[in-house]
């Protein structure tokens, strides 16, 4: 089992796509371990995207991610990090494959709807940045025995 952090970005919130996108994750079989809505403090967004601080799009990205409330969630499942990245598709909605979330719902490289962790080390750092340990919930979900056989 792996956990990954996802953020419904302000464009997904304002375009009222959160429910439809969350449904994709649920339909895949991924299980929520945490979820909350917040206005992200600028400093937290800057830490989250620190790896991009020298890129030309960094300040616009921080502006975007603080332009309105977001929904944060932790999803879990086998290889959840790669599974969720595959569901999202390429960063740029213009080139993301049809059938992926970004490919189906977006046309933009910045406004690409959802963030998802890209590796185990970043996932645990990001979960720690946005959630307190007691906000993470381990639970038995009724259909799980029909979703994962191993």
Mind telling me the catalytic residues? Answer: 115
Residue 58 CB, nearest approach to ligand IDP (Å): 8
Among 23, 59, 79, 91, binds ligand IDP (CB under 6 A): 91
Tell me the C-alpha distance between 30 and 84, whole Å: 9
Please report how close the Cβ of residue 61 comes to ligand IDP at its closest, in angstroms: 5
Q: Name the burial class of residue 124, with classes exposed (0-12), middle (13-18) and buried (19+) by CB atoms within 10 angstroms of its CB.
A: middle
Pick the closest to residue 127 from 33, 1, 5, 2 (CA basis). 5
| Nearer CB in complex with ligand IDP: 61/75 | 61
Among 80, 115, 126, 127, binds ligand IDP (CB under 6 A): 115
Cα separation values, 128 from 53, 80, 132, 133, Å:
20, 17, 7, 7
Residue 110 in contact with ligand IDP, rule: CB under 6 A: yes
Q: Does 67 bind ligand IDP (CB under 6 A)?
A: no
According to the binding rule CB under 6 A, does residue 57 interact with ligand IDP? yes
- Closest to ligand IDP by CB, 58 or 76: 58
Return residues touching ligand IDP (CB under 6 A): 52, 57, 61, 91, 109-110, 112, 115, 118
């Amino acid at each position: 089992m792996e956990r990954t952090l996802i953020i419904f970005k302000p464009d997904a919130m304002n375009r009222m796509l959160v429910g439809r996108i969350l449904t994709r994750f649920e339909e895949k079989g991924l299980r929520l371990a945490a979820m909350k809505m917040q206005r992200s403090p600028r400093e937290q967004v800057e830490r989250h995207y620190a790896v991009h601080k020298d890129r030309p799009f960094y300040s616009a990205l921080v502006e975007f991610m603080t332009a309105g409330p977001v929904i944060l969630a932790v999803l879990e499942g086998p290889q959840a990090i790669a599974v969720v990245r595959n569901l999202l598709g390429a960063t740029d909605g213009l080139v993301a494959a049809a059938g992926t979330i970004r490919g189906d719902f977006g046309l933009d490289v910045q406004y690409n709807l959802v963030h998802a962790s890209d590796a185990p080390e970043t996932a645990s750092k990001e979960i720690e940045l946005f959630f307190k340990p007691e906000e993470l919930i381990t639970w038995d979900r009724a259909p799980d025995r029909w979703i994962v056989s191993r």
